Structure 1
Amino acid sequence: MHFDCRFNSALAFVAFFFATTHAFYIPGISTKTYSTGESIPLLVNKVHSSKTQLQYAYAELPFVCPSTGKKRPGSPWTSGTTLSLNLGEVLRGDRITVSDYELVMGKDEDARLLCEVEANEAAVQRGIELIRDGYVAEWIVDNLPGATSFVTADKTKKYYAAGFKMGHDEIDKQGQPHYFLNNHVTLQILYRNAPGREGEQGKKVIVGFEVYPKSVEAGNRDKKGIPKNLDNPKKGLELDLKSDSNGEPNTMKIPYTYSVYFKEDKNLEWSNRWDMYFVNQDDSSRVHWFAIINSLIICGLLTAIVAVILARTIRGDIAAGAKDTESGGIRMRRRKSMRKSTDNGILSEPDAAEEVDDNDDIPLEEITGWKLLHGDVFRPPTQGGLLAPLIGSGMQLMFMAIGLVLLSCLGILNPSFRGGFISVGFALFIFAGVFSGYYSARVYKTFGGEQWRKNVLVHLQTATLVPGLVFAITFILNFFVWGQASSTAIPFSTLLALVALWLLIQLPLVYFGSYYGFTHVGAWEHPIKTNAIARQIPASSWNTTGRTVQTVLLAGLIPFAVIFVELLFVFKNMWQDKTGYYYVFGFMAVVGVILLLTIVEVTIVAVYMRLCAENHHWHWYAFFVGGASSAWVFAYCIWFFFMNLHITGFVSGLLFFSYSFLACAVYGLLTGTVGFLAAYAFVRRIYAAIKID
């Protein structure tokens, strides 16, 4: 009964935690209000597709209306003005520009001509390529992305998908494709009275922005350029250039028109206006709960195994054949003379007839299993100077990940804060350089590092390991993306700013943390001294390289089983549904905690089995076991690419696999650090129970 109460309380806490994080995904930021007749700027951002990783700035497309530079009364911007963006917006490929579309609060426009573009062959061909690849345009009004509305299968709910299609294609009877450009948009602005005194003064707030695109033929228009039959056009605007009698290509006239309608919606609050973008995702809540239950079952089984190891096996090993001392552990005594010194200085084997003095203690020769490694288990690992900065960088990533998840659960990071997740992530990563240097220095000194020059080299590796890898790969990829004239390419000025943040802010923070950790705190103390001569590792199947690799991969499969369901939603949001927004950070936080617990338990079991095989090389082994699930995640990325995505083009494929590799490397570094620290704490705990004279 006691167990049932605790289990029900845990479930209640998880449910409360999720409900809380779900309710606060939108913070109470200041509300923008509009008076009747006030101008509303419409911003154009970019076009993107699920078939490619290349994005393009909408205002730079050759077949859309160029900016006129017109300034509207009451608006702080002129058309064509490019807005300044935060770091996250730049890195995600946003390029936001003020458009020439005129929106006035409360004023409907049945039809209005925006412009007429004279498109040449290159511009028409560009439009055909974007339509063929399924590109979607992203516009913004009052920080809301223009949405295409849908209805759920049971027709009970309406939901939004951010963006609208650039056009559509049709296949004729001969099997030839024809591409039609959406050159008319109907914009519907949903509004309601502003809360408080501003609402009493007649001011409004925008709670929805819907876009309904349509393809309308260039002909059959009045003198103002307005189609005579806008509601049901007989033909669409097909992108097709035919040569004239001289064989020279013609240009094509593309008229752009738009309609604007304002509709009051009293049922939707301003604070909940993003809910429409998430209605379709709410239907997957059951799957998220299934992922949590699946994770809890796996973690529960591992917890039982670890409990058996800690409570029975290890305690039994410590207590077997030994008289408990006041400290509760085995007291093992060394022989007075394990070897004798001969006249020539060579150590000889001890006398077989020599007796031990204390019959209450256990001679070391009678100890078996992991206890035999008491003099070697804390021996510094090979290449410890590389493992130390890896651990430091892993702790830096850990602090960044925890900060991002907490801020997202509290609603501070949300879709209305465009680019905020990436920007805040960079800030947290740079600030966490202090923790990176601190843990790197302490681990390095624990491994016996004393030389200042080598210590400086370790600090330098810590400060450059993760940022250097990410910057190098991103810089190389940028050459490919620049060649495609894509907005995904990072501007050179932004690259210089990132280098400045790295060298001028993060690097000093790493050195400060390293100095404090190395000088003022120092190394962790070990409960047992290390022998001068290393013990020979017995030859067994457990200690072979091939068996070690198999064991590491098998251990990594268990944490992967905890997260693979939630990974499907993350991948779908990142690579497939680019018009959607991932917001269920409550589920992610719960699954993340279970993942870390699973990694801790798997690493403890794996290290214990390795010590039982009398192999004292556990440091790197624990790190690789902790990070082994990253190999399965990368394999999952490959499966997702070929089975779920329809990405075409060499550059797009290169971007997918490069970014996937970086993400998996970062994930593996973080989880590997968790595994190492858990194993280190476990090893110190079990050997602290052994007293050596």
Structure 2
Amino acid sequence: MATREVPLLLLLVVVMVLAGAGAARGFYLPGVAPRDFRKKDQLAVKVNQLSSIKTQLPYSYYSLPFCRPATIVDSAENLGEVLRGDRIENSLYVFEMREPRLCQIVCKTALTHQEAKDFREKIDDEYRINMILDNLPLVVPIRSLLDDHDAPTSYQLGVHVGIKGQYAGSNEEKHFIYNHLSFLVKYHRDENTDLARIVGFEVKPFSTKHEYDGEWKENETRLKTCDPHSRRLVVDSDSPQEVEAGKEIIFTYDVNFEESDIKWASRWDSYLLMTDDQIHWFSIVNSLMIVLFLSGMLAMIMLRTLYRDISKYNQLETQEEAQEETGWKLVHGDVFRPPARAGTLCVFVGTGVQFLGMLLVTLLFAILGLLSPSNRGGLMTAMLLVWAFMGVLAGYAAARLYRGFRGSEWKAVAMRTALAFPGAAFAVFFVLNALIWGERSSGAVPFTTMTALVLLWFGISVPLVFVGSYLGFKRPAATEDYPVRTNKIPRPIPEQPWYMNPAMSVLIGGILPFGAVFIELFFILTSIWLHQFYYIFGFLFLVFAILVVTCAEIAVVLCYFQLCSEDYEWWWRSYLTAGSSALYLFLYAAFYFFTKLDITKVVSGVLYFGYMLIASAAFFVLTGTIGFYACFWFTRLIYSSVKID
């Protein structure tokens, strides 16, 4: 530790983390500051993607023949927003602050056969229109079915394109479009300055077949079905607007303003409470208590057993007694023998260290409030940036371990560390993106963004991996710190009992780490695939800490049992023991797909399992690395605690 490279490495990591933090702040914080509006100030509503939980394929708002402005202006989006499929554009919905308007005409259009077919398909797939006002997403208030006035109002993110159902006693189901939107803008007013801040953006959709007299005069046309002067409004209409080719559709809207006691700093609270918090918190606490109890039991058993073994070995006085003894002490000459495919193991460990650093830094940013849901795309952008900067830790860990195995081709290991996992993930992502592109979805990543990802990979991550590898390989080998020497001739491994079979122990080892996260995993999957907000990052950090402790403990316990059976090939098994929890994660993802999601399209199913495969692979290298380092520390500790000639 006295070498100059270690302080240099730590300084480099600090600089990269600070650079990542600065980049993250630059991506999300602009636009989050509160905006004060005077009366009659213009409020421009922006439209975002059309989204559906049935297809998971977002589309641009103007992919359907909605009313279009003369010039469509795309808003600047960060990397995370582009990867999420967000396409934020201007619209014809323009309000004046605190100036209610009734029956405002947006436009009139006649659908072609193809346009009517597109509308019907989007209604069948339950697509929702997403709009934004002052960085607040549009929501639909949903009252409780129970007649409980104290029950809080829940909100649906986005408004459906239309509805499918029967009308006027007909047995045939028809498609009806929501062509009238009744907006409600909530604001918090400062009594001293009379300035106001927007704290809510709600809508109630209606479908009505508008009628008018005389010639069409654009906004000056007086509608018979929606006339603010005669107070005959669309809510009283009994004739919904059917989606039919050749028929005129008139799009209209109302806007009302309501003063609210909600302050600007708390305006996101209603959005973040879309799920049942009581069940959420109770389930997580219950799971954590079970895991903590099991972890305490395992730790107590290990401490008592190890203390007894070490005391017994150190009390042996004669060589004859030592030769008659069995257990983990007898394999001291082989326990640090390099494993088969040592370079591959180093690559896996280095990649796991990179993910561990990324998660720790990203969770820290989230806990500090830098990655709130109001910063759209912020979480994904931060993860990509921090992952690239953590390449220096990946290279250092891989090269450090590789030198401990007496390897010499550190550049090859560094190259594999920089390219193996990112390359495999990018290949899967490229195939999935091609499928999305084939569906003409806005979720397809553009070529320019794909180029930016490649530059982020090869311009930042790969060089940092080589920098870390150079510093790690230049340090003295880890074997110089090993408490025992390795024999030249390997000791034969005795026949193992059935319960110590590698496949059996590996599969058993992954159950407890998965049990530490599967409740939280349900809410994470729900936020991703059912388009809900995830915000309890403090609790997520606690669950992550429990996961780390659980992976370490189960790997150490099974490693101890393996050494007691005189099987010294623990390197790979310690990695696979904790890493096998990724198998259970993928199986749970399949269970979630068939029980919670209503995905019918083949492409959507391929997208789901493709992305969950990448997530499971990342979880494998993360948990495997934690288990490996726990066993590495454990073996060094126990063999340095006994007297060995």
TM-score calculated relative to the size of structure 1? 0.83
Tell me by how many angstroms 1:188 deviates: 1.1
Residues 643 and 60 of structure 1, relative CA distance in 2, 3 Å threshold: same
State how far apart, in whole Å, the 2-side matches of 1:463 and 1:363 are. Answer: 50
- In the other structure, the counterpart of 1:583 is 535
Q: Distance in 2 between matches of 1:477 and 1:597?
A: 35
* Contact 1:55 1:488 survives alignment (8 Å): yes
SS across alignment from 1:100? strand
CA separation in 2, counterparts of 1:425 and 1:362? 58
Judge conservation of contact 2:334–2:490 (CA < 8 Å) in 1.
yes
| 2:67 aligned to which of 65, 71, 90 | 65
Change in 2 beyond 3 A, CA 1:28/1:214: closer
Aligned: 1:288 with 2:281: yes
Alignment partner of 1:101: what SS?
A: strand
Find the aligned partners of 1:274 and 1:178 in 2 and give their Cα distance. Answer: 37
TM-superposed deviation, 1:117: 1.8
Matches within 5 A, 1:342-353: none
Matched residue SS, 2:478: coil
Match of 1:252 in 2: 247
> Is contact 1:160–1:277 with CA below 8 Å preserved after alignment?
yes
Distance 1:428 1:384 in 2: 27
- 2:565 is the alignment partner of 1:613: yes
Corresponding residue SS for 1:320: helix
How many angstroms does 1:488 deviate by?
Answer: 1.1
Q: Give the secondary-structure state (helix, strand or coil) at the position aligned to 1:648.
A: coil
Q: What is the one-letter code of the residue matched to 1:146?
A: L
Identity of matched residues, %: 35
Q: Which residue in 1 is equivalent to 2:441? A: 486
Q: Structure 1 residues 522, 254: closer, same or farther in 2, change over 3 A? A: farther
CA distance in structure 1 between the partners assigned to 2:45 and 2:56 by the alignment: 25
The residue number in structure 2 matching 1:558 is: 512
Q: What letter is aligned with 1:260?
A: V
Give 1:528-547 correspondences, 5 Å limit: 528-542=484-498, 547=501
Which residue of structure 2 lines up, in the alignment, with residue 40 of structure 1? 43
Structure 1 letter corresponding to 2:472: G
The amino acid of 2:236's aligned partner reads N
Residue 559 of structure 1 aligns to a residue in which SS? helix
Superposed counterparts of 1:77-156, under 5 Å:
80-152=72-144, 153=146, 154-156=148-150
Deviation at 1:264, TM superposition (A): 1.1
Q: How far off is 1:689 after superposition?
A: 1.3
Residue 189 (structure 2) aligned to one of 181, 193, 196: 193
Distance of 2:486 and 2:171 partners within structure 1 = 78
> What does residue range 200-239 of structure 1 map to in structure 2 within 5 Å?
200-220=192-212, 224=221, 226=223, 227-228=225-226, 229=232, 230-239=234-243
Q: Distance in 2 between matches of 1:589 and 1:362?
A: 52
* Amino acid paired to 1:374: H
Among 571, 587, 591, the residue aligned to 1:635:
587
Match status 1:181 vs 2:137: no
**Displacement of 1:521 after TM fit?**
5.3
**Which position in structure 1 is the counterpart of 2:265?**
271
| Alignment partner, residue 301 of structure 1 | 294
After superposition, the C-alpha distances for 1:262-318 in whole angstroms (9 at most, x for unaligned) are: 1111x100000011112343x3334423322332233322322232222x2222222
2:456 corresponds in structure 1 to: 501
Determine the C-alpha separation between the residues in 1 that align with 2:95 and 2:157: 20
Q: 1:66 to 1:317 in 2, by over 3 A?
A: same
Deviation (angstroms), 1:221: 6.1
Q: Secondary structure at the match of 1:583?
A: coil
Q: Which runs of 4+ in 1 moved over 6 A?
A: none
* CA deviation map 1:142-182 (0-9, x unaligned): 00001101234533222322211111111366642211000
Residues 423-453 of structure 1: CA deviation (Å, up to 9, x unaligned)? 111111011111111111111111221x2xx
Instruction: After TM superposition, give the deviation of residue 35 of structure 1 in Å.
Output: 1.6
1:305-384 superposed matches below 5 A = 305-310=298-303, 312-320=304-312, 322-323=314-315, 360=318, 364-384=322-342
- Deviation readout 1:504-530 (Å, 9 max, x if unpaired): 111111111111111135435211010
Q: Deviations over 1:452-485 (max 9, x none)?
A: xx21110011111222122111111111111111
Structure 2 residue identity aligned to 1:657? F
How far apart are residue 378 of structure 1 and its match?
Answer: 0.4
Q: Is the 8 A contact 1:292 1:590 kept in 2?
A: no
CA contact (8 A) 1:27 1:411 kept: no
Contact residue 292 and residue 591 of structure 1 kept, 8 A? no
Superposition pairs for residues 360-439 of structure 1, below 5 Å?
Answer: 360=318, 364-439=322-397
Q: Deviations over 1:35-55 (max 9, x none)?
A: 212111110001111111111
Deviation of 1:585 after TM superposition, in Å, equals: 1.6
In the alignment, the residues of structure 1 paired with residue 566 and residue 32 of structure 2 have an alpha-carbon distance, to the nearest angstrom, of 60
Equivalent pair of 2:287/2:516 in contact (CA under 8 Å): yes
CA contact (8 A) 2:483 2:640 kept: yes
The answer on whether the counterparts of 1:27 and 1:412 sit within 8 Å (CA) in structure 2 is: no
Q: Partners in 2 of 1:225 and 1:690 — Cα distance?
A: 94
Distance (Å, rounded) in 1 between the aligned partners of 2:278 and 2:383: 26
3-state SS in 2 of match to 1:54: coil
How far apart are residue 691 of structure 1 and its match? 3.1
Q: Is the 8 A contact 2:111 2:244 kept in 1?
A: no
Q: Give the aligned residue type for 1:67.
A: P
**CA displacement 1:301-344 (0-9 Å, x = unmatched):** 2322232222x222222222643xxxxxx7xxxxxxxxxxxxxx
- Which blocks of at least 5 consecutive residues in structure 1 are unaligned? 1-25, 70-79, 242-250, 324-329, 331-358
The answer as to whether partners of 2:313 and 2:642 remain within 8 angstroms in 1 is: no
Distance 2:477 2:496 in 1: 37
Deviation at 1:360, TM superposition (A): 4.8
Aligned length: 601
- Cα distance in 2 between the residues matched to 1:483 and 1:235: 38
Q: Which runs of 5+ in 2 are unaligned?
A: 1-28, 227-231
1:526 — aligned with what? Answer: 482
